[in-house]
Amino acid sequence: MPSPWLLVAAVALWGLLLVPASAGDVPAPTIPKGKGEQCVADTDFMRRNHMDLLTHQRDDTVRRGMRGAKFSLNGCVECHAVAGANGRTVTAADPKHFCRACHDYAAVRVDCFDCHASRPEPKMRAAATGATKAGRR
């Protein structure tokens, strides 16, 4: 007779094996759904390459003065806005923020929102600037 605990352990292990492996090395966290039909690029591509896209976009903007291209950080936070308990869109200070869904999970820390707004701000969009509200989160 195997000990009941051994059985429990075996069943638990079996359960783990049944969980499908997630894409990449990072286990799948709960990610809030984006707005609209699709992302600015293929979702799977975005999952893996958004950091490079954003960095290139930033380099283009800051060094070459390019604006309004496809991979704008304002665009990200607009489509990926998440409502908090009070109905207001959460900022990056809240663990529910879209960008933190995975980052907290993967222990990634980004400093982007030290300068950039982490939720849509109508006035900023009107002014078409990316990071003029320094310190606002």
Q: Which of 9, 11, 110, 127 binds ligand HEC (CB under 6 A)?
A: 110
Nearest to 82 by CA among 94, 72, 97, 102: 97
Please state, in angstroms and rounded to a whole number, the distance separating the CA atoms of residues 38 and 45. Answer: 12
Asked if 90 interacts with ligand HEC (CB under 6 A), we say: no
Could you count the other beta carbons within 10 Å of the beta carbon of residue 77?
A: 24
Asked if 50 interacts with ligand HEC (CB under 6 A), we say: yes
Question: Tokens representing 82?
Answer: 């998440």
Q: Are 130 and 61 in contact (CB under 8 A)?
A: yes
Please state, in angstroms and rounded to a whole number, the distance separating the CA atoms of residues 61 and 131. Answer: 11
The CB-of-116 to ligand HEC minimum distance in angstroms stands at 6
Dihedral, 24, 30, 32, 33 alpha carbons, nearest 10: 60
Q: Which of 57, 90, 117, 119 binds ligand HEC (CB under 6 A)?
A: 57
Interface with ligand HEC by CB under 6 A: which range of 1-9, 10-18, 83-91, 112-120? Answer: 112-120
Asked if 116 interacts with ligand HEC (CB under 6 A), we say: yes
Asked if 61 interacts with ligand HEC (CB under 6 A), we say: yes
Of the pair 90, 98, the CB lying nearest ligand HEC is at 98
- To which residue do tokens 């783990």 refer? 16
Judged by the rule CB under 6 A, the positions of this chain that interact with ligand HEC are 26, 31, 33-36, 38-40, 43, 46-47, 50-51, 53-54, 57-58, 61-62, 67, 71-76, 79-80, 98-99, 101-103, 106, 108, 110-112, 114-116, 129-131
